[in-house]
Chains A and B, each alone.
Chain A
Amino acid sequence: MDVKVFHYLIDALKVAGCSIYEDNIPVLYNSLIKLQSENHFNSVYLWGRIETLSNDYYIAYGHQKDPIENRIFFYTQNILEWDIMPTDWSIHETDLVRRIKTKLYGNPRYLETIDNSNKKSQETTEYPIAPSVVMKYDDYVESGEEDVQNIENITFNDVISINEADEIMETESIDDPSNLKSSIKEEDRLAITVQMIDNECHIVPRGYLYKLPNGKIIKAPYFKGLDYSEIGNEKNFLHINPQYCRPKGPTNDVRPDYNGSIDFLESIDKDIPKGCWTSRIFSNRYFIIHSLLWPGAVFFQDMNTGIHGYFYNGYGLKNLDLPFMI
């Protein structure tokens, strides 16, 4: 949600069921504007709020030129000062985050430990059910993650919450606990979680981002939001996630009105499980898409003005039961 349209979208946030404390709104606005000017950002976005057991985290990001690649994430708890989010983590830590299913504690320095024995007990209960889900996701992973498994330190953007197929093997092969670093700082966990959510749920309407012939990506200056005729189609919503930016050959199934400069992102209609997005129009005005996979992630658009935004408001926990719930 762009800070510039922050005030216009407060009602939409309420409709979507994720409004923020009214008293925090002016403070947030000012501190975000300060963040923008200090870092010389082109624009700053309020990304969302992650609820914890004590103080909630507010997440924001800004970018200078490229609205996708060069985003820098910040978090805050006191909503006055923003801290930069850690960007480097090992593949191991992402594994840990995938395994943790408790709520965040609310202290960035809190050390979350996973008990090995506890994990084992979980394994026995979970794996009889989990593989079917994992298998389902397989082709989903393949889109961008094939090469990731070889690299120890993965780069900033490449995390997904989906278990890779050989992750089970990995955990079984490592027996001595010294090898396995089973604790993670909450700051890192937060960063990884945010990245996961962003990769899987952050969506933009088609036509919002525009790819110039020289490869640069800009926000389309005259984009007016989607039409009533367009919002019904999931193909008109694209993942902002760079992982899915793969060039579309003519062999792939392409939409009839394919336009290379705006269709360079992956649309959400092939997301798994099917039906993980629900879209509705509320109070005759606000169009809202909820993600069921990450409960709390919403995209909303004011149909009258075309102002739109993305927000996450939740615990930072993935809904693993989703295939059974729809």
Chain B
Amino acid sequence: MYLHKTQILIHLQDILNKILSERPANPLENFEKYSMLLKRTYIHNETNFERVFVDNINRNYCFKSLQMYKCASTKQFERQKQYNKNKRNIINSEIDQREEKKTTTNNNAIAKVQNLCEVNYMFNKAGFGLPMDEASLIYLTMNEMAQLNKFESIRFWGKIFGIKKIYYVIECKWSNEELERKLLTVNSINHNSKLSKQIFNDIADNNLSHQETKSIDIENAQEIGNEYESNLSYLDGEIIENSIDQFDSWISLNDSDSCKTIPKSSSKIVLESEMIGVGTNKNVYFVTNKLNTRWIELESIKPHHIVEARKIKRYITGKLKNPIKSFPKFNGSESEYLRAQIARISSSTQISPRGYYIIDKKEKSWNEISDKKSLASLHSSTKISENDDLILNENFKPISNNNLTNSSYWVHKNPQIDMNGVTNKLGFSKFSDSKKNEENFEEVEEEEKFSYDENIINSKDDLFGNLGNDISVDNTPAWKGVLCSPLDSRYSHTVMKSHVWPGAFAVAYNLQTDYMYIGWGQKQNSNTLYSTFIEETKLENVTIDNTSTVECQEFTTTQKIENEKHGLRKNKNKNIFPLQYNRKAYKGGEKK
């Protein structure tokens, strides 16, 4: 086409030019090739604007998303068919009814899924909304996960920006059966890892077979194979978990080359990670970089990771395998760091209005399981606090909007993580009787209550502490309550924003409430770096004569001191306060 316009002579001239400039060995043989090459450049010259425009859109991404939608719709269709069939069966015969019952029981086990569409409306009002396409894809994924019958509840945790990529995080709670299975496998490995390796291998084999059966289960559950929640991710996660459990003497290996000043807890006693389903490991987290690809399960957290993560301040990159290079050393890759940050954020920023949840008195059913297994899980907490489980308060009355902007009408939903990186006082139970601990703990708690401002009423509604008691870093309140639409305060949503973890927020409107995190995963702290350097030097002196009991006492005394300071602070109220006091103060749901 183009050659029509170009003179044939010019074309020949160009070929000759090319041959002259390049001087190939045998120009005659390749003459046609040269001609072709040149012709190609002519076509290339003629830029086709429309084509370029279409190419601008990354079609693959759209196709992938579309595939997800298609899968969802076909599944929905099948479910509908199944439902109709069952309905007909009820009418037809009684024998079939039994089967139908079975299916309904299965259906009952389906997890509670956060209604993201509804919640996103609230988030939008609060100025933290998710865009439509993200919300729909996430919602789809969560529904898909619910079909696996593995989870009790599923919700979208939030987004964490990284330097290279972003993380989307989904928070799930294992269902009881799944927990049971997990505990069984973990415990058996824990138990046997101290034996010789051969035995371990045998068990690993057993384990593998176990996993195989499980994977079959999964396959049954997920009939249409697709990319979400691939069984691989589960298995991967578990295998990694197991392999780490194998190295019980992990710290001692590393200790030789680590500095002496590094975490006291790790140098002395390594706290075991909390049991799956308890405390910091109550929920399991799935992350992904792209919404239409695989979600990866994060391993359950180890306390020393939290302790170490508190000391460092680094941006997350977006690659899970990335090693963390920081000065107070972080022993682990980014996946552990991410998990630690998630744990810290959830512990200090997941909140609800007062009285929205109440503590469930009933002990969990899987407690029995853990009792059964208590022999195997020597250290894992045999005594599980009942506080762990929250249920919706049916008698909850909506709090007026003006009150909701006041932080003392909000309470923490999750237990604090203490300085050892655990929630259920594992650090104590190791050293002395559990009864004593409880007494100790209660004492401390009472003191806390005493030193707090007495205007704030302490009641059972304050699940894990009132927000009014949080202290931020820079002499500023830890939370800020805002009415979302200032022009109409009556029907406005109310948002609570965290100053300690910028990006964490909770919204409440009438009987609805939810929370999310969108941010960089960094704590707002104007002087972390300096303070860590100072603390490092302090630690050096302490570690010399440190025994386990001393640490125990130390912990309580420091807490007392903190409380006193805290009391002082409350009295002085709004006075400019020397920075050194703040450094040790109770910081927004976490103790340092």
Binding site for B on A (CB under 8 A): 11, 14-15, 17, 19-24, 27, 51, 53-54, 78-79, 101-103, 115, 118, 121-122, 125-126, 129, 227-228, 275, 278, 280, 282-284, 290, 292, 295, 303-304, 314-315, 317, 321, 324-326
Please choose the segment from B12-20, B265-273, B389-397, B471-479 that sits at the chain A interface, where 4 or more of its residues have CB less than 8 A away. B471-479
Min CB–CB distance A278 → chain B (angstroms)? 5
Q: Does B34 contact A (CB under 8 A)?
A: no
Cα(A283)–Cα(B576), bound, Å: 45
Task: Say whether B129 contacts A326, CB under 8 Å.
Answer: no
Q: Which residues of A contact B65 (CB under 8 A)?
A: 284
Contact of B163 among A51, A278, A321 (CB under 8 A): A278
Question: What's the tally of chain B residues with a CB closer than 8 Å to chain A?
Answer: 59
- Does the CB pair B166–A280 fall under 8 Å? yes
Q: Describe A's contact surface by its main secondary structure.
A: loop
Identify which of A11, A21, A284, A326 contacts B125 (C-beta below 8 A): A21
B contact residues around A17 at 8 Å (CB):
128, 159, 161, 503, 518-519
Known contacts A21-B126, A22-B484, A126-B530; 18 further A-B pairs (Cβ under 8 A): A11-B131, A19-B129, A101-B474, A102-B475, A102-B476, A125-B534, A129-B529, A129-B533, A278-B163, A280-B164, A282-B166, A295-B502, A303-B56, A314-B502, A324-B313, A325-B313, A325-B314, A326-B315
Contact residues of B between 552 and 588, Cβ < 8 Å to A:
576, 578-579
What does the 1/0 interface line of B111-132 toward A look like (CB < 8 Å)? 0000000000000111111111
* Cβ of B91 to closest chain A Cβ, rounded Å: 47
Report the minimal beta-carbon distance from A102 to chain B, rounded to whole angstroms. 5
Query: Which B-chain residue is minimally distant from A54 (CB atoms)?
Result: B480
Contacts of B474 in A (CB 8 A): 101-103
5 A–B contacts, CB within 8 A, in A order? A53-B480, A79-B486, A103-B474, A115-B576, A284-B62
Min CB–CB distance B426 → chain A (angstroms): 31
| Interface of B (DSSP majority class) | loop
Q: Does B233 contact A (CB under 8 A)?
A: no
Closest to B162 in A: A278
Q: Which residues of chain A are near B499, meaning CB under 8 Å?
A: 53, 103
When the two chains form their complex, are residues B526 and A101 in contact, meaning their CB atoms are under 8 A apart? yes
Pairwise interchain contact B579-A315, C-beta atoms closer than 8 A: no
Q: B61 contacts the other chain (Cβ, under 8 Å)? A: yes
What chain A residues lie within 8 Å of B486 (beta carbons)? Answer: 23-24, 78-79
Confirm or deny: B133 has a beta carbon within 8 angstroms of a beta carbon on chain A. yes
Is B460 in the interface zone, CB < 8 Å from A? no
B67 at the interface (CB under 8 A from A): no
In the complex, the answer to whether A121 meets B579 with C-beta atoms within 8 Å is yes
* CB contact under 8 A between A118 and B56, given known A11-B131, A103-B476, A126-B530: no
- What's the nearest-Cβ distance from chain B to residue A293, in Å? 12
Known A227-B56, A315-B502; judge A325-B315 contact (CB<8 A).
yes
Chain B hits for A227, CB < 8 A: 56
Q: Which residues of chain B (492-538) have a CB below 8 Å from chain A?
A: 492, 497, 499, 502-503, 518-520, 522, 524, 526-530, 533-534
